[in-house]
Amino acid sequence: MTLNFLIAPDFPPEYFAGWHFMNAHLQKSLGINIHLLLPASTDEEQQAIDHNKVDIIYANPFDAAKLIREMGYLAVAQPINRYDEIVIAAAQNSNIKTLADIKAGMKVLATENYDVKLLALRLLEAVDAQENDLIWEKCDSFIAVANGLIKKRGDIGLFLASAYKKLSKITLNNLQPLIESKINDLNHVILIHPRQVDLLGMLQQVLCQLNQTKEGLVILEDLGLADGFSKVNQEDAELLIDIIETLRD
């Protein structure tokens, strides 16, 4: 038996090697073959899900809520002290210095990450900026968003906060953050397909014990998740779904 383990495409590329190390550790600990899937886009991710190819997934909170609610996926674990926040930024030399400077007709550079866009729209409500008031241009990556701002191809850009902070120093010096969300309730979540329910307890134990061994701590460091993982129970999953539905309303 071989399981497929998919990693959400919004994870910073520099940590991909860490997921390979994690995958090797899971195979050894669980005694099963696991194939790692690293989709390049959310479309590719969705295709894998639609074709029923995903047994384990590291999903953003919005996708996680949908997978739990609509497809019966079971929550396993989430990173400790690693929240999904977003940054809205402009070029350093832009006339846009605060959210209040954002006006109708301005161009927003954004990736296809729906979660980032949704959180940004909630922040923009504070200045009465609605989705239809703005021009949206899709970028392939957060680096592309940053470069687009610097080259004046857009007025503001949307970033996952963790990705924004991983931009090069030179790039960051040419950008100015307008706001960073502080929700502190949204995490990526590891889920398992209900057909693999017999593995849930073992997988949960392996993940939550990573920070207790030298090998595990190295893997976590390579993933940028130094504090490790904590168990997610049904109550936690229901809270996540409630938060997501509130944000969507």
What gap in Å lies between CA 219 and CA 18, rounded to an integer? 6
Amino acid at 232: V
Task: Fill in the DSSP letter of residue 142.
Answer: H
Specify the pLDDT at position 166: 87
Specify the pLDDT at position 183: 85
Supply 122's token pair.
Answer: 């909630």
- Under 8 Å CB-to-CB from 191, ≥6 apart: which residues? 56, 57, 59, 64, 67, 68, 73, 74, 75, 76
Specify the pLDDT at position 139: 93
Specify the pLDDT at position 219: 97
pLDDT in tens, the chain (249 residues): 899 999 998 887 788 899 999 999 999 999 999 999 999 888 899 999 999 999 999 999 999 999 999 999 999 999 999 999 999 999 999 999 999 999 999 999 999 888 899 999 999 999 999 999 999 999 988 999 999 999 999 999 999 998 899 899 999 999 999 999 998 888 999 999 999 999 999 999 999 999 999 999 999 999 999 999 999 988 888 888 888 888 877
Q: Count Cβ neighbours within 10 Å for each residue of 129-141 and write b for 16 or more, e otherwise.
A: beeeebeeeebeb
CATH superfamily of 86-180: Periplasmic binding protein-like II (3.40.190.10)
Which class would CATH give 2-83+186-248?
Answer: alpha beta
Q: What are phi and psi of 178, to 5 degrees?
A: -90, -35
What gap in Å lies between CA 62 and CA 81, rounded to an integer? 18
Specify the pLDDT at position 89: 98
Specify the pLDDT at position 154: 97
Specify the pLDDT at position 245: 86
DSSP string, 53-78: --SEEEE-HHHHHHHHHHH--EEEEE
Q: Domain residues of the chain, as ranges?
A: 2-83+186-248, 86-180
**Is residue 2 within 8 Å of residue 33, measured between CB atoms?**
yes
